[in-house]
Structure 1
Amino acid sequence: MNYYRDPASLVEKISSWIKEMIGLSGMSGGVVGLSGGVDSAVVAALLKKVCGDRMLA
């Protein structure tokens, strides 16, 4: 799969992985530190998608 052509599939794949890892940890949400960069913003957006209001940044 070429994720450059289908970024929505990449978002879904990463979101599913995050959800699986949170479930395996026994937690229901998470805390993430942000630096203000693009990568931090992407991680925050993915966690918001997966965890909703159970994510603290």
Structure 2
Amino acid sequence: MVSGGGSGHLPLFGGYVGHGLIDTCAIGKVFEGPALHACLEATRPADGGAGILQLIGN
């Protein structure tokens, strides 16, 4: 599972990475969603062969 979002007042998405939580996180600039290359970089290590769920907020 991959999540991500902008780094505004509350860059909370990185806090959900860990055992039993999400696998990786894509972070964007302040008040911007993550760029395409950031989403791809976060997706590759999460790919265990069973599929990937991406939850990207903006």
Which structure is richer in relative contact order (CA contacts within 8 A, separation 6 or more)? 2
- Provide TM-score, normalisation by structure 2: 0.26
Pick the structure with more helix per residue: 1
- Provide TM-score, normalisation by structure 1: 0.26
Pick the structure with more strand per residue: 2
